[in-house]
Amino acid sequence: MSIASKPVLSAPTGSLLDLIGLTPMVEVTKIDTGPCRLFLKLEAQNPGGSIKDRIALSMIEAAEAEGWLKPGGTIVEATAGNTGLALTLVGQAKGYKVLLVIPDKMSKEKIQHLRAMGADVRLTRSDVPHGHPDYYTDMAERLAQQIPGGWFVNQFANHANSAAHVKTTGPEIWEQMGHDVDAFVAGIGSGGTITGVAQYLKSAGARTQIVLADPVGSVLAGIVNDGVPGPEGSYTVEGIGQNFVPDTADITLIDKAYSIPDAEAIATVRDLLLKEGILAGSSSGTLIAAALRWCREQTEPKRCVTFVCDTGAKYLSKVYNDAWLADQGLGDDPIVGNLSDLITRKYANGDVVVAGPEDSLDSAFKRMRSNDVSQLPVIQDGRLVGILDESDIVHIMNTDEITRKERFAKPVSSAMTRDLDTVQVTEPLDALIPLFDRDRVALVLDGETFVGLIARVDLINHLSLNR
């Protein structure tokens, strides 16, 4: 592809909304793409950080034109996060309130981002099916009916969703690729992206193969490939995959589907960062993994396009967090058959937050708060000498009449527990139960070397992942 000799720059604008769309395209050059060339459209470059900016603007403007959304109204939507961010960006720029219903499996970065932008965020269960009163779309529709001036966006059945991609995304891809696209890969969340782009490419006379990237656990790949829903299950990837076909999705436009396991999606997106320098979100991992499968299956050179749907900065606590991946059973550590299999944060790897006996209680408590833990192993000269938990600090706070400042200045050694509940890493799971019965955490040693902590939740998580 030709490269412009000079950058093409736009004049300053008075609104972020003017910057939605016209996102750049980059070719993958350091990952094996077989005989093909793979191009990524960087939708994270939208002002709201994702491809959903396009549909938010389209759906809100359509609702205004049709009289559904009036001045002072409230935009209500069910969203996995990115549509909510986009609706909040566009809605607040236009003077509307925004209420969002979000499944509780979404990353905390997205939720914090939404609340910081002023959205009213309501969390709901992610373990219930479509039709259940706590399912996020059902709850959002109910709330919209209860709020005066409320408008339920319903991205899953909103014609302006796919229309945004017919109008903008499809033409941009066609132009950027010089009218030469052999395959286009996308997922289905609401269905608007793959439907709208496919509609445009077919209307432009393209012979592009439309490929669905679907998480394992979503039923959609089965419907595309076999005409029947695939096995339903859980998955950690956010924003794509469904247990039903959204009204916005035109399945008949799709030629082929790949079911991508979480582990493959996450490995792909992390490889993308390491080799290409692109920080992408979890759904992008699913899309790119499917695109790579398609590319490597080809026997002659072809050109494939997919998206970086959003930035990986929204998933630092998940996809790019080794401890979280281990908690989900997606880590790289091999199963060794002893208690270390239950420890996702190992001291030898620097994953355990610890204190020293001479540290102040103030610094220890702040360490607990910033890392969201309730106890700290106390390490001196590389050896475990105690443990400090919140109750130990509370006890010190009530022992004498000195000032709070002086109490918090006391050393950890003055409050820590020295009578330790240790187990050897080679002991059986049953050795943990007596400790948990006494409301203790297990301090695991390998000889005299500290390995890590095991709490009740670690045992439950291990049993759940290894049924």
Among the listed residues 303, 409, 319, 316, the one whose alpha carbon sits nearest the alpha carbon of residue 364: 409
List, as one string, the DSSP characters of 255-267: -EEEEE-HHHHHH
Angstrom distance (rounded) from CA 282 to CA 442: 33
- 167 and 58 in contact (C-beta within 8 Å)? yes
Rounded to whole angstroms, how far apart are CA atoms 190 and 82? Answer: 12
Q: The dihedral of CA 300, 305, 311, 314: what is its sign?
A: negative
- C-alpha separations of 407 from 355, 368, 394, 413 in Å: 17, 17, 10, 13
d(CA 263, CA 227): 26
Rounded to whole angstroms, how far apart are CA atoms 326 and 147?
A: 42
Is 52 catalytic? The answer is yes
**Which residue from 184, 158, 20, 19 is spatially nearest to 78, judged by alpha carbons?**
158
Report yes or no: 344 and 451 within 8 Å, Cβ to Cβ.
no
Q: Which of 129, 123, 89 is nearest to 103 (CA)?
A: 123
Number of residues in the chain = 467
Q: Which of 41, 50, 52, 340 is catalytic?
A: 52
Residue 283 annotated to the active site: yes
CA–CA distance, 28 with 59 (Å, rounded to integer):
32
Q: List the structure tokens of 225.
A: 């490939």
Q: Are 111 and 338 in contact (CB under 8 A)?
A: no
Distance CA 299, CA 137 (A): 43
CA 432 from chain centre, in angstroms, equals 33
Catalytic residue among 50, 259, 283, 340: 283
What interhelical angle do 361-371 and 390-397 show, nearest 10? Answer: 140
Which has the closest alpha carbon to 288: 307, 261, 310, 315? 307
Q: Which residues are catalytic?
A: 52, 283
